[in-house]
Each structure stands twice: as C-alpha cells, then as structure tokens.
Amino acid sequence: MKKNKSLSIGAFIVGAILLVFLALLFFSGGDLFSQKERVVMYFEGSVQGLQVGAPIKLKGVILGEITDIQINFDSNAQDNGNKNNSAKNIVTAVTGDLALKRISRKGTEVSIEFFEEAIKNGLRAQLNFQSFLTGLLYVELDFFPDTPATLYGFKKNHLELPTVATGFEELTKNLQEINLKGLVNNLDKLTLHLNKIVASGMIEQTLGSVKSAADSFTLTANTMRQDVSLLSKNLSHTSSQLDQLLASLNQQTPIVAHELRASMVQLQKSLVELDKATNSVHQSFSEDAPLINQLNETLDEVSRSAQAFRTLSETIDQQPEAFLRGKKLTDKDE
C-alpha cells in the first residue's frame, strides 16, 4: 500500500515537472534551446519604465528580451572629482539576449559578424513606449546611419550595441542645458530698460513722429492719386489722337500708293529712253562710225597744213629775201 502511494507521488511529481517544461517550451516560442547572443546597451538618459523581460524589437519583430539592468559609473569621472562631470557620465547598462535564428541573410542564419557589419551601417538601439498609458518601455533596434556609434567597452565579453536618444530625450537634454537663471536676469534687465524708456517719454515722441510720418504719407498718396488721374486723362487724349492719325493714314494710303505707282511707271520710261540714248552715243563714237572717219581725215589735213606752215616758216627764217626774189634752189632741190 505504501509502495503504491510512493509511486503515485513520484508519478505526480514527474508529471508536474513535465508540464512545467512543456509550458516553458510553449511560452518561450521554441527559443528555449535556440542559439542566443548576449548584447549590452548603454543609455545616458532615464530608463524609467524599462523592466527585465521587456522585448527587443527590430521593425516590430521581437528578437529577444531584456535580462538585466544596471547602473554604471565611469571611473574617469570619479577620479576627476567633478560633480557635474560625474552626473554626465552615469549610464545605465541594459543587457539582453537576441535569438539569432529570427534573423537571416539570404535564407541562412546570421552570426556575430552580422551585427558588427550592421553597426557600421548604422544599427542603433533606442527606447520606445510599449504603451503611453502604462509608461512601459521596450528597446527598438533600427538603422540611423547619420549618427555616431558611441561605444563604452565596459563589458568585453558582450556584444555592445550603440544607442541613440529619442526626440523627447534630446528635447529634455536641451532644456537642461538652458541657463534659466541667466535668462531670468536678462528678462529683468529688459523690463528695467523698458520702464526707463516709458518714463523718459520717448515712446510718446516716437508715436508722434510716426503719426506725422503717416499724415505725410497720406498727403503724398493723395497727391500721387491726383497726378495719376491727370496722367490717365492725358494718356486717353493722346490715345484718341493716335487713333485719328491712324484712321487718316488708312484713308490716304490708297492715294499715295496710286501716285507712287504712276511715278514708278514714269521712272521706268525715263530709264528706257536713257538706255536708248546711251546706245546711240556708243554707236556714234565706235571705230567704224562715219563721224569718227571724218574726224580722222580732218585731223590728217590739219597735220599736213601744219607741216607746210612749219616748212614755210623755216624757209623765211633762213632766206628772208625769199618774199622778194623767191626761194633759192639748193643742190638737193636741183
């Protein structure tokens, strides 16, 4: 009896262990015995809302979960003894496990070298809200190629993923860097300066000057309006006269064209007569023309007469008495 009871208890315990194992296997999604890569991420801002077991996602796909969260002080900041510097170098180390089987390249599972290459291409970790109502956070992996990869290197045996701040964290950081005390002091000085200006009456003077300038501008605008109106009337009158001139030209154009045509005909006739006269002159002064022949004969006779006159002149010059006795015969003449 006792033996049967012991067997029942043992069977119950074995069954319970088996059920727990199956439950772990079911809720782990089959990743209980899968290859995992431990990674660490360092966040400078607050991680309030991030808990152990929070998911690590890439494009909405859960790649792993957070396994540990620790505060890490930079030893260099402690050695310097600067409180502000120490506060700036407090970072939160967030450790997680990534299931490598959920990441593949060209159908094959990736290795640790994949993450090293992805970090060079801009892979960064960033905190995001799971729900704005609960305020719970998760780690989102995404690519930010234009951001620097800041690595701390505190844990050499873990793969370190660089982090980037969210837009809200950047805004908070910028607000913290604003010198509010200095800003308030500047506002106080500005208020005192404005009070002095109001007490000195400069504002009333300025307003009076502005009113005078506005009145002058209004007067100038009225004058310009009158001048523009007069100019518009003159342009209208000039346009009317131009229309009349164009109409008159349109009426006189046929008459002028007729007279011009008659003049062109007369000019053509004159050119024909001039051509005829030119041909007549050319014929009269050609080498075979009768006028040229007669002129050549006359020139020959004049040449012979001149020769005879030259001979007579020589004879008189040599024998002046030839007028009385006649010309003496020389041996050549005989």
Q: Give the Cβ contact number of residue 57 at 10 Å.
A: 17
Q: Please, what sign has the CA dihedral across residues 7, 27, 158, 100? A: positive
pLDDT for res 323: 56
Look at residue 39 and give its three-state secondary structure: strand
Task: State the pLDDT confidence band at 233, using cuts at 50, 70 and 90.
Answer: confident
In whole angstroms, give the CA distance from residue 70 to residue 315: 159
∠ CA 115-119-120, nearest 5°, is 120
pLDDT for res 52: 94
Mean pLDDT of 294-306: 75
pLDDT for res 172: 63
Q: How confident is the model over 96-121, as pLDDT tens digits? A: 998 888 888 777 777 778 888 889 99
Is the separation of the CB atoms in 34 and 101 below 8 Å? yes
Mean pLDDT of 215-242: 81
What does the longest C-alpha to C-alpha distance in the chain come to?
Answer: 216
- Buried b / exposed e along 291-317 (16+ C-beta atoms within 10 A): eeeeeeeeeeeeeeeeeeeeeeeeeee
Mean pLDDT of 309-325: 70
Is the separation of the CB atoms in 66 and 96 below 8 Å? yes
In whole angstroms, give the CA distance from residue 63 to residue 57: 6
DSSP 166: -
The residue ranking higher by pLDDT, 48 or 178, is 48
pLDDT reading at 137 higher than 80: yes
